[in-house]
Structure 1
Amino acid sequence: MRFLTLLIFLLFTLNPLHGEILSMENITTHIQKGIQTRITGQNRPIIQEIYAQTGNKPLWIGNKNRIKTSHLIQALNDPLFNYKNKSFDQRSIKHLFYQLDNGEISQVKQASAYAKLDLVLTSSFVRLVRFIVQGDVDWNLVQKKLNTLEQSDDITARWEMEPKAFPDLNGLISAIENDTIYEYLTFLLPMEKRYRKLVKLLNDYRVMDKFPKIKYSNETLKLGDSSSRVEEIKRRLQITGDYPKNAPIDSKFDETLKRAVMTYQKRYLIKVTGMVDRTTTYYLNLPAKSNIQAIITNLDKTKLYPKQFEDEHIEVNIPDFNLRYYKDQKKVMKKGIVVGRIDRPTPLFSNAISYMVLNPTWTIPDNLIKRDLIPVLRDNPMYLEENNMHVFQGNKEINITQEMLDPYEKSEKPVPYRIVQFPGETNALGRVKFMFPNKYAVYLHDTDNKSLLSRRYKIYSSGCMRVEKPFDLVDMLLEHTWKNYSQNKIDEILASNEPTTIYLKKQIPVHILYFTVYEENGLAYFKNDIYLYDKIIEESVEGNKKSTFTIPEKRMISVKKNAQPLSN
């Protein structure tokens, strides 16, 4: 890099276009020809328009442009912008500089060479901008693979993706003309806070020492034990910063190591015991390249989102099983959530909470009647009565049997009955639901089965998100209601057992996300790719595209293990 910068310096100070012997008009003519002959693909009209708006003059060559050009070359190699170390013709640029600076190009061909250099630099800049904004993932292919999961595995995977368009050229041209390359590229960074943390994490893992292998053993290591394996574990955890750099590397399992193991287990969503069993050993033996790939894939996902979300908003991160509430871009609340089963993934999209309902009823969706309720009724004909469920045909309440529902179990016809679970302690939605009306009929809500929130892998719903301590979220949202609700008033409503809707005068945006790697409070967290979306993305990247996706026979979490008879 320093060598390349030196070449630029020499070229544009000692040999600034040979004392301007070369005519700028001549170079401009070659630039116009080069756009037609040298530039191909989707960037050609963009490059053509850039030169058209700047009078087809050279943008990078000449003594006055040398600093700007060095800024561009630095940006092409800066991991903040080019975290995949992609080739944006850096070698071609370096070779052209070398040829021109060392007189390897005859004078008659120099105008053409300078024009080529200018075009290559412009093309590299445009390609870098496109990578920052759009990335190199084929999001249409990702969407196609998600859609085929429903046909092949009956998995309704929904992810509302809005890949960005190439940015307006005015800003790009202004950056070139005013030498604000770095400022412009930084302005384009998606989800900037998250993005910067991931880039730093990626850089950290790329320079880490090779992870030592920990020997497998049926023996679980714990506080007070002594073993040669303890030395290996200390050395391994020291590399990732879980075990202090200045702590001793010896065979004694001490308190410092126990704390380090607990931190590591927390970061990887392993059962936190402070002991090293076969499961923890398995994770410790994962190579650094798997972490690096996970970080890169999560950086790729930022391309789907803006520079930052609203000042006040909610983020639900599915693989993390957590909801976070932000005010003024600062996290003010964090709650655990239960999310959709791996065969019924929670859809990923953005919306806004417009109202909440205390003592909600639950109208069972048509697909759950067919998939879940009918089989349950075969085993237990009293299930509806036992769970406070009422059946309506039109506005009339009727009694129904499982036999009356049987014809619809495998049919595409809608079930002609409305089955409603009335409010109460056994209601699947609990005592409150938070509504952001959407085509998927999913929302945030309380739960009648709070024990699920204590599980490590909270994958039990049919798509909705069950919230830990939901009335803490109620309190946050009550700041935005049309009426004032005291705690006594809320208690009175709950005691009435009557459904009560509370509207918000300010809708609160909700973003349902899928990030398996993130940094929080100085710690890097790596979560499991529960829906295999990361895997799909990795196999849809330029240079690594696979046209189809097949779910592996063995998954970390089985569908049956996490299934419940009837859940929302």
Structure 2
Amino acid sequence: MSKPMKKQLSSFPHSFFSKRHIFFLALLLSLVHISSLSAETNKTFSQLMQQPKVLAQITPRDISPKTLHTFYASHHYKQFWTDEKKLNDAGIELIKIVLSSNKKGLSPKDYHQDLIVKLLATKKGKIKWKRKLKPQEIASLELALTNAALNYTVHLHRGKLNDETYTPRKVSDVERQNIAPHLFKAATEKKLEDFFSAYEPTLKLYANLLDLLEEIEEFVEKTSEWKTIPPQETIETLNEEKPSLPLIRSRLAFWGDLKSRHDNASMLYSEEVKEAIITFQHRHGLESDGKIGRQTIQALNVNPQERKNQIIANLERLRHLPHTLENRYLWVNVPNYSLQLFENENELINMKVIVGQEKRPTPIFHNTIRYIVFSPVWNVPYTIAVEDKVPELIQDPSYAEKMNLLVYHAANGKEEIDPTTIEWEKYKDAKEDEFPFRFVQAPGNNNALGHMKFMFPNKHAVYLHDTSSRSLFQKHHRAFSSGCIRLEKPMWLAQYLLNDKKNWGEKKIFESMNKPEETTVYIKKPLPIYINYWTAWKNKEDKMEFREDIYKLDRNISNHLLSTGKH
């Protein structure tokens, strides 16, 4: 009891209070005093939030103090993650979620891990959940956890990088404002897990990649030393001995492709090793011939951490897709050189494709196929004209005639020119505004687009098409085009798209393919198309599969992701 209160009590006659009265009065006054202290502590957070200088000091760098102040002011400065001096249950749950964000292919570093550890961890690094904190520490932690939860939600939902460019981007205040009310409601109702799950992609591939990430983490943890298998001549003869085979055997056993471990020191290229190599090659999209050549050695040298980064890059790309797909759609996987047609989750078509070479990559995006052009005319793009066609014309003046290639003045576009009268040497390095010609390839068997093209108008000017160079489908690596996608079996796709269009059966399609002029046919039910870049997944046998990062997109995405946090 305070001294003033004692003085006031002593001024009353002793007969006025019994000892019992004095005890209960003292108890009552103490409770009032404790209550007032509690109210003062609760007010502390509110007071700190309304002091601009203090608010600026405790606000995380990637969000404005004004934004956080608005969020909390609209909720009467309620604390969602903390109590008077410590974390509440919602705060504990949130921290456990964000500190395990690596399981989702994200990084705890991005969600204020350093501050959480600084305020709550013991010297041994263990989180002390009920540690008491000072008012400013509580306020700082409260704001950091709100920011962490908002950023984590956005990253789960649509990734950390910009669409198409895959360069780092900041979470916008608009995104935060849209999420905040739902987040605070979930915190109050103790439904955080359900809240975050609702923002995750629902595609089957997402769950597939998360399983793969969990599995690869086991390989990362058991990796101590990773020796590089040196470049060498192709190993292909059974029972020959090579000094590199013990390391190759060990690597195959590490990944589970070689079951026997007792003779991994052997330098013998046995039948068992060949079968393991074929299994490994199949899982990595390589030609499954059992020969240990450059590409196989290159794949064997990729360590588990690199594979983990590759999976994380795939997860980032997946978050940029719509979270639900249509009942029917085309699914192109560029690094796998494949196209699939799905209808009600059933695969109806599966074919090989030829995609863009590294210097002219096929763009990754989604769109809708709206019409087909049979017997197409090819208006040759400037880049292909100067880099591909001009050297051919220099080498062989009759090339244009052989390939049914017409040359026009670019200025009026109508005046045809005899290509043999032009000194093509002058234009082999011409810039676009210096190249005065336009190349057009008429319909026919030599046309680079083959007999049909499937159009989904887009800013990249790419499409699906037939091809006159059909022998390239026999190649295993098929990055040969200038960006467009060449189809192994275009007739299958044409029949599917026109099966509900009257008088457009196989005979009509075949006739239109061989006409001397174009025929454009609009599709009754436009078909969504997703041009993807997947280099990691689990197959139907639950085995890990990887593909070569042909455009170095995985590497670029990993570098950008790792620039803000460590996985």
TM-score using structure 1 length: 0.76
CA deviations on 1:9-36 (whole Å, 9 max, x unpaired) are xxxxxxxxx9996233444334544644
Q: Select between 78-87 and 467-476 the one with higher mean Cα deviation.
A: 78-87
Change (3 A) 1:243 1:331: farther
2:135 is equivalent to residue 115 of structure 1: no
Correspondence for 2:539: 520
Question: Residue 181 of structure 1: which of 180, 192, 199 is its match?
Answer: 192
> Is the contact made by 1:374 and 1:402 (CA closer than 8 Å) also made in structure 2?
no
Q: Is the 8 A contact 1:212 1:232 kept in 2?
A: no
Once the two structures are superposed, what CA deviation does each residue of 1:461-482 show, in whole Å capped at 9, x if it has no partner? Answer: 1221111111122233224x54
Relative to 1, partners in 2 of residues 1:163 and 1:460: Cα closer, same or farther, differing over 3 Å? farther
User: Do the aligned residues in 2 keep the contact of 1:431 with 1:447 (CA within 8 Å)?
Assistant: yes
Secondary structure of 2:210's counterpart equals: helix
1:195 aligns with 2:206: yes
Tell me if the contact between 1:234 and 1:249 (Cα under 8 Å) persists in the aligned partners.
no
Question: Is 1:76 paired with 2:98?
Answer: yes
Task: Calculate percent identity across the aligned residue pairs.
Answer: 28
- 2:175 corresponds in structure 1 to 166
Show the counterpart of 1:388. 404
Partner residue of 2:453?
433
Where 1:413 maps in the other structure, the secondary structure is helix
Aligned partner of 2:235 among 220, 224, 244:
220
User: Does the 8 Å contact 2:60/2:143 carry over to 1?
Assistant: no
- Mapped to 2, the partners of 1:104 and 1:446 lie a distance apart of 67
1:375-454, aligned counterparts within 5 Å?
375-391=391-407, 398-404=416-422, 406=424, 410-413=430-433, 418-454=438-474
The answer to whether structure 1 residue 469 and structure 2 residue 489 are counterparts is yes
Which consecutive residues of structure 1, in runs of 5 or more, have no partner in the other structure?
Answer: 1-17, 145-160, 546-568
**Residue deviations 1:29-84 (CA, integer Å, cap 9, x gap):** 34544644300433234433332332211112359994433331221122344533
Report the Cα offset of residue 278 of structure 1.
5.7
One-letter code of the match for 2:363?
P
Deviation digits for residues 520-556 of structure 1, max 9, x if unmatched?
A: 33333322222233333344346379xxxxxxxxxxx
Preserved contact between residue 81 and residue 128 of structure 1 (Cα < 8 Å)? no
Distance 1:173 1:483, change over 3 A: farther
The Cα offsets for residues 172-223 of structure 1, whole Å up to 9 and x where unpaired, read as 3333233322222222234743333223222222221327648656572665
- After superposition, the CA RMSD in angstroms is 3.9
The number of residue pairs the alignment matches comes to 506
Matched residue type, 1:514: Y
Which SS does the other structure have where 2:537 is aligned? strand
What is the 5 A alignment of 1:147-546? 166=175, 168-169=178-179, 170-190=181-201, 192-208=203-219, 209-210=222-223, 213=227, 218=233, 220=235, 232-244=247-259, 249-250=262-263, 257-277=273-293, 279-391=295-407, 398-404=416-422, 406=424, 410-413=430-433, 418-479=438-499, 482-521=501-540, 522-541=542-561, 543=563
CA contact (8 A) 2:405 2:439 kept: yes
Give the structure-2-normalised TM-score: 0.76
Out of 526-535 and 247-256, give the one that drifted further: 247-256
Change (3 A) 1:102 1:508: closer
Contact 2:355 2:484 in 1 (8 A): yes
Q: 1:413 to 1:87 in 2, by over 3 A?
A: closer
1:166 counterpart letter in structure 2: E
| Letter in structure 2 aligned against 1:86 | K
Change (3 A) 1:231 1:104: closer
Paired AA for residue 522 in structure 2: Y
- Counterpart-to-counterpart distance in 1, 2:367 and 2:129: 59
Q: Secondary structure at the match of 1:540?
A: helix
Give the counterpart letter for 1:314 in structure 2: L
